[in-house]
Structure 1
């Protein structure tokens, strides 16, 4: 039961944070806020996953569930990214849609790598 509460609490924090950041007005043809949310979530999930694997006792299981499954799951916006990409395509903005999709995938994979490298630097191996 504690695991479910940890995931739910993390999901709440992540979703509310995503909503709040989504209110930031950025004038651009590219959905930059969603891209930045996905990148940030990728860095966090990479760091948490790496920290948990480097020093399994440093992060309690509940903390990993809160951060990785709950917070990052509620915060990142892949479904929003997909909808925005399709809307760009439907609006005839093929090049912008392609650039957005490519940037999202490349940046978010790089974000996970950055998070893992950050954790390796900051978290001593057990």
Structure 2
């Protein structure tokens, strides 16, 4: 039987992997009732992010966007629309984009309790690199 040498950092890596896994499951299952349901769709030249915010006053919603993610904050209405949401509680949701976007071209629209944010992908700039001429050694 072969013996394996124990590395104390193995436990740290295992713990980090488990936390990442549980974090993704938590996002997918939406355990937090004060976090609105979110949907991320890839479109032709960017992403469409939807936040379900029934009854929320759009003038009270704060949206921050950068080249990696969009953050939405606000407060659920005083009269609950869905039984699983607590009235008057604040919410905060952050969605990360799979690739870099251009925040200057992002647009937001709120209709019938659905906040839709369209963010367009950053255009990658390509350039050619030249190797300096060197003598073979």
TM more than 0.5: no
More relative contact order, 1 or 2 (CA 8 Å, 6+ apart): 1
Q: Which has the higher strand share?
A: 2
Q: Which has the higher helix share?
A: 1
